[in-house]
Structure 1
């Protein structure tokens, strides 16, 4: 089955999409800043219970290429841009590189340089989660450095994993991180062993 873009072009208003993206980025940076600058205070502080984990897949600002986050959850269901809800997972942001980061406001072009996709885990479903990045579309034919950050946000903010991998070319896929949790949300294992999950038929 060929994976097309027609449905993605009309899914959301790009202005609100950009604003939501910026809000999520601000919240994530705020959590990271709390951990970095005042670890004792962050340990005692609670984070509002809107998500259990936040997974951010990002690549360099202003990069024109389209990187997609894919997440395999414990029951075997896969989250990606055509399946934005998988189990307890939700894709909050589908970033298409230079294609959906520009809006016109009052006749002026506003460009959002941030390149990232945001996945939230909104419940404690035990098992393994595999986070992959797929180089969907290339506009400059260059490799892309893709980073991932996994943050456990309840009951306290805790960075589970951060890392970066280079994806050489269009069509390539890389496993950014794999992590397992128990029923209470305790992280049992974190690794980067490769596992292919992208549906490649028709690509």
Structure 2
């Protein structure tokens, strides 16, 4: 009877076996370790590229082409970004691609050539008004026609194509206006036009601070 009373008093639902306590402690420790490693090594966002820009303007022409094409962009304040002025207003030219000129590097005695033909302008802020995007053939190695494409992308809040077009160039000094697009104060595109032509190569050679050749 004594044994029965002891069993009854021990089986009241409040007794927790030692193994259960140990399991809970180990589980809590494992969770804390997982959280710690998550903070040390945050999960990478696949394909996410933070450009810190509002618009991206890209000009491309055939890979390995020897000709030198140049991208010009004018903002509403009259600032023009081009190879002699890679920063103008809130715009920056990523790289002046000069075709085959200085387009190779030598590593361990082996010459490596960059086949990509591309120039990029970023708009890092919004000035309301009209933007003009031109292409110019600075150097032509032959009279053949070269297809040159320009794409204008709005990056925020999500990426979208504002304009895409291709024009052919066949001689040195040829200049074409691709697109004239207008932004409001919030960066919304309110108008897109491909005419009329406006020379930006002529504009940069007029006496104006920040635009003339250095």
If the TM-score is normalised by the length of the shorter chain, which range does it land in? 0.7 to 0.9
- TM-score of the two chains, using structure 1 as the length reference: 0.73
Q: Partner of 2:94: helix, strand, or coil? A: strand
Partner Cα separation in structure 1 for residue 51 and residue 80 of structure 2: 24
* Alpha-carbon distance in 2 for matches of 1:185, 1:106: 48
2:80 to 75, 78, 81: 78
Q: Look up the match of 1:131.
A: 133
Cα deviation 1:34-83 (Å, max 9, x = unaligned): xxxxxxxxxxxx86351100000111111100001111111112111001
Highest CA radius of gyration, 1 or 2? 2
Displacement of 1:143 in angstroms is 2.4
Cα distance in structure 2, aligned partners of 1:49 and 1:140: 36
Distance 2:171 2:153 in 1: 28
Matches within 5 A, 1:40-189: 48=50, 50-189=52-191
The structural deviation recorded for 1:167 is: 1.7
In the alignment, the residues of structure 1 paired with residue 51 and residue 73 of structure 2 have an alpha-carbon distance, to the nearest angstrom, of: 21
SS of residue in 2 equivalent to 1:199: helix
Report the secondary structure of 1:198's partner residue: helix
CA distance in 1, matches of 2:129, 2:107: 45
Task: Find the residue that maps to 1:57 and give its secondary structure.
Answer: strand
Q: Which runs of 5+ in 2 are unaligned?
A: 1-45, 206-214
Distance 1:141 1:106 in 2: 37
Q: Do 2:140 and 2:170's aligned partners in 1 also have CA atoms closer than 8 Å?
A: no
Equivalent-residue separation in structure 2 for 1:81 and 1:60 (angstroms):
20
> Which of 182, 202, 206 pairs up with 1:199?
202
Give 4+ residue runs of structure 1 displaced > 2 Å after superposition. Answer: 46-49, 140-143
Q: Which runs of 5+ in 1 are unaligned?
A: 1-29, 32-45
Q: Distance in 2 between matches of 1:71 and 1:60?
A: 21
Matches within 5 A, 1:17-32: none
TM-score by length of 2: 0.69
Structure 1 residue 92, shift from structure 2 partner = 0.6
Give the whole-Å Cα distance in 1 for the aligned partners of 2:114 and 2:190: 37
- Alignment RMSD: 1.9
